[in-house]
């Protein structure tokens, strides 16, 4: 492909400007959707990886088999004796029960429901590591903190959870009991988790006396040398026997942190995949559009093709002129599509960040940008191959007569 042939192709695209623009527009829409969706998909992937890295790969959970938020199934619980039993299983470094309940939270005249978690103040470091929470302001819970609470990130701001922001030292109501706020956790990235409230075992037992020593959720740390998946099977087996349940009919299940994240990743991946498929369909429509434009161009330029052949153009010269034209349409559509996709995803990312969804943030690796542009160039070029082949095979004597 020589510079003059490229120039000739570009002149032709300019010559039929509106048609070229509309064809390019159709590919811009498809590529913009793909770019935006993939940037979010990758952003979520990175977020999950970061969480996994922070939480470490040595964590396991025991929770109820069933639907609903983990730990909130009232029919399922593990007794503190069960937690002690699990703690003694070979390969388990430590185990800690966690209470989980939904409670009515009051601040001034504002009332809302939120999750509260009752944790063992002796195990706070372990709990915080497992739930990937770090103190942002104030301090964490310690033994003897009776009516004290550490709140999620969202409570610190006006109109995020409550209308008015809460500060360290403020008082809030949890199921009508007054609690003092002693700290805030850093942002987790989704409004649900960022509105959790953390209190001690004792405080939880004060609020819900009937749940004393009945944990909805157990967190486990394995010994360093242990394979967590094997340990999960061992705990499952031992605890089943301990609770006298039949194999396959347990009311609990043991899962590793990695499994839990993998499940989440799969769900996100499937959702993203479906959306990508829709975007791909629009690219296919765009490629049909390019093909149509190129067939029309071949028809319009039949005589020109004849002239070029008469003055010495080979079939391959004609082929490349048309493939370049369609490829150029694809590439321009790709570049503009990436720009539009960037604007769309950055705008949505800004909105989701403001709404507290830090996990819904787009990322823009270079290979995504280049991949989108190369993909759209290829789509364009491939769409142009058939019309280009038709053009290249035109007989010069016949095309010269074409009016």
Partner 1 sequence: MGEKYILELIDVWKIYRMGKIDINALRGVNLKVKLGEFLAVMGPSGSGKSTLMNMIGCLDVPSKGSIYLDGHDISKLYESDLAQLRGRKIGFVFQQFNLIPTLTAIENVMLPMIFQNIKREERVRKAEKLLDIVKLGDRRYHRPTELSGGQQQRVAIARSLCNDPEILLADEPTGNLDSTTGQEFMQFLRKLHTEEGKTIIMVTHDREIAKNADRTEFLKDGKIAKNI
Please pick, from the candidates 206, 275, 396, 402, the single residue that binds partner 1 as defined by CB under 8 A.
Answer: 396
Q: How many CB atoms lie within 10 A of CB 261?
A: 15
CB-nearer residue toward partner 1: 8 or 342: 8
Please pick, from the candidates 29, 308, 338, 379, the single residue that binds partner 1 as defined by CB under 8 A.
Answer: 308
Site for partner 1 contains 397 (CB under 8 A): yes
Site for partner 1 contains 300 (CB under 8 A): no
Per CB under 8 A, which of residues 146..175 are in contact with partner 1? none
Q: Is 295 within 8 Å of 64 (Cβ atoms)?
A: no
CB-nearer residue toward partner 1: 89 or 307: 307
Binding mask 258-297 for partner 1 (x = CB under 8 A): ----------------------------------------
Per CB under 8 A, which of residues 4..23 are in contact with partner 1? 4-5, 7-8, 11-12, 15
Please pick, from the candidates 180, 237, 259, 317, the single residue that binds partner 1 as defined by CB under 8 A.
Answer: 317
Helix (H/G/I), strand (E/B), else coil: 216: coil
Shortest spacing between CB 305 and partner 1, in angstroms: 10
What is d(CA 271, CA 276) in angstroms, rounded to the nearest whole number? 9
What is d(CA 357, CA 361) in angstroms, rounded to the nearest whole number? 8
β-pairing verdict for 217-222 and 78-79:
unpaired
β-pairing verdict for 217-222 and 59-64:
antiparallel
What is d(CA 334, CA 398) in angstroms, rounded to the nearest whole number? 37
Q: What is the DSSP string of 90-133?
A: TTEEEEEEEEEEEEEEEETTEEEEEEEEEE-GGGHHHHHHHTT-
CA 118 to mean position of chain CA atoms:
29
Shortest spacing between CB 386 and partner 1, in angstroms: 19
Shortest spacing between CB 382 and partner 1, in angstroms: 23
Please pick, from the candidates 145, 194, 304, 325, the single residue that binds partner 1 as defined by CB under 8 A.
Answer: 304
Site for partner 1 contains 402 (CB under 8 A): no
Q: Is 252 within 8 Å of 239 (Cβ atoms)?
A: yes
Q: Which residues bind partner 1 (CB under 8 A)?
A: 2-5, 7-8, 11-12, 15, 303-304, 306-317, 395-397, 400-401
């Amino acid at each position: 492909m020589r510079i003059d042939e490229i120039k000739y192709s570009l002149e032709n695209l300019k010559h039929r400007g509106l048609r070229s623009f509309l064809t390019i527009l159709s590919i811009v829409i498809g590529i913009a959707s793909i770019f935006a969706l993939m940037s979010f998909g990758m952003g979520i992937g990175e977020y999950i990886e970061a969480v996994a890295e922070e939480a470490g790969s040595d964590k396991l959970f025991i929770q109820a088999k069933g639907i609903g938020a983990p730990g909130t199934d009232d029919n399922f619980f593990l007794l503190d004796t069960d937690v002690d039993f699990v703690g003694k299983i070979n390969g388990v470094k430590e185990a800690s029960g966690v209470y989980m309940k939904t409670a009515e939270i009051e601040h001034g005249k504002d009332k809302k429901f939120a999750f509260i978690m009752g944790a063992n103040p002796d195990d706070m470091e372990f709990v915080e590591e497992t739930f990937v929470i770090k103190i942002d302001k104030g301090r964490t819970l310690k033994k003897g903190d009776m009516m004290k609470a550490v709140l999620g990130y969202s409570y610190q701001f006006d109109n995020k959870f409550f209308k008015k922001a809460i500060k360290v030292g403020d008082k809030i109501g949890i199921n009508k009991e007054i609690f003092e706020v002693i700290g805030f956790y850093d942002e987790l990235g989704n409004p649900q988790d960022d509105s959790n409230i953390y209190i001690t075992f004792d405080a939880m037992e004060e609020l819900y006396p009937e749940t004393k020593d009945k944990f909805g959720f157990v967190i486990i740390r394995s010994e360093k040398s242990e394979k967590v998946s094997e340990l999960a099977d061992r705990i499952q087996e031992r605890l089943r026997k301990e609770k006298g349940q039949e194999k396959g009919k347990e009311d609990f299940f043991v899962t590793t942190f990695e499994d839990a994240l993998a499940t989440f990743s799969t769900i996100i991946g499937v959702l993203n995949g479906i959306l990508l498929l829709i975007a791909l369909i629009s690219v296919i429509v765009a490629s049909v559009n390019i093909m149509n434009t190129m067939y029309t161009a071949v028809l319009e330029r039949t005589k020109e093709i004849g002239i070029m052949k008469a003055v010495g153009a080979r079939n391959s010269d004609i082929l490349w002129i048309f493939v370049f034209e369609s490829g150029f349409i694809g590439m321009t559509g790709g570049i503009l599509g990436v720009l539009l996709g960037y604007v769309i995803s950055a705008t949505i990312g800004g909105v989701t960040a403001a709404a507290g969804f830090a996990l819904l943030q787009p990322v823009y690796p270079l290979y995504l940008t280049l991949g989108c542009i190369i993909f759209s160039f290829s789509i364009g070029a491939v769409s142009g191959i058939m019309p280009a082949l038709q053009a290249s095979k035109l007989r010069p004597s016949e095309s010269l007569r074409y009016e």
